[in-house]
Amino acid sequence: MAVKDDLRTPIVCVMGHVDHGKTSLLDNIRGSAVVSGEAGAITQHIGATEVPIRSIVDKCGNPGLLDQFVVPGLLFIDTPGHHAFTTLRSRGGALADLAIVIVDINEGFKPQTIESLHILKQHKTPFVVVANKIDKIHGWNPQKDSPFMASYNKQSEHVRTSLDNKFYEVIGELYNHGFSSDRYDRVADFQHNIGVIPISAITGEGIPDLLMVLLGLAQRFLESNLHYDATGPGVGTVLEVKEERGLGTTIDLILYDGTLKKGDTIVVGSLDEPIQTKVRAVLKPRVLSEINVEDKFKQVSKVTAAIGVKISAPNLDGALSGGSVRVATPETLETVVEEVRSEVEAVQIDTDQSGITIKAD
The least CB distance from residue 18 to ligand GDP, in Å, is 5
The least CB distance from residue 130 to ligand GDP, in Å, is 9
The least CB distance from residue 103 to ligand GDP, in Å, is 10
Q: Who contacts 140 (Cβ-Cβ below 8 Å, separation ≥6)? A: 134, 155, 159
Chosen residue from 4, 136, 154, 220 binding ligand GDP by CB under 6 A: 136
Nearer to ligand GDP, 81 or 233 (CB): 81
Chosen residue from 59, 82, 123, 133 binding ligand GDP by CB under 6 A: 133
Does 22 participate in binding ligand GDP (rule CB under 6 A)? yes
Chosen residue from 23, 122, 219, 354 binding ligand GDP by CB under 6 A: 23
Does 159 participate in binding ligand GDP (rule CB under 6 A)? no
The least CB distance from residue 133 to ligand GDP, in Å, is 4
Chosen residue from 115, 135, 264, 339 binding ligand GDP by CB under 6 A: 135
Site for ligand GDP in 69-128 (CB under 6 A): 80
Nearer to ligand GDP, 196 or 313 (CB): 196
Chosen residue from 201, 207, 212, 266 binding ligand GDP by CB under 6 A: 201
The least CB distance from residue 300 to ligand GDP, in Å, is 31
Nearer to ligand GDP, 206 or 323 (CB): 206
Chosen residue from 3, 18, 60, 159 binding ligand GDP by CB under 6 A: 18
The least CB distance from residue 239 to ligand GDP, in Å, is 17
Does 19 participate in binding ligand GDP (rule CB under 6 A)? yes
Q: Which residues of 174-189 are buried (b: 16+ CB within 10 A; e: fewer)?
A: beeeebebebbeebee
Whether the CB-CB separation of 128 and 210 falls below 8 Å is answered with yes
Chosen residue from 49, 200, 259, 265 binding ligand GDP by CB under 6 A: 200
Residues at the site binding ligand GDP, with contacts judged by CB under 6 A: 16, 18-24, 80, 132-133, 135-136, 200-202
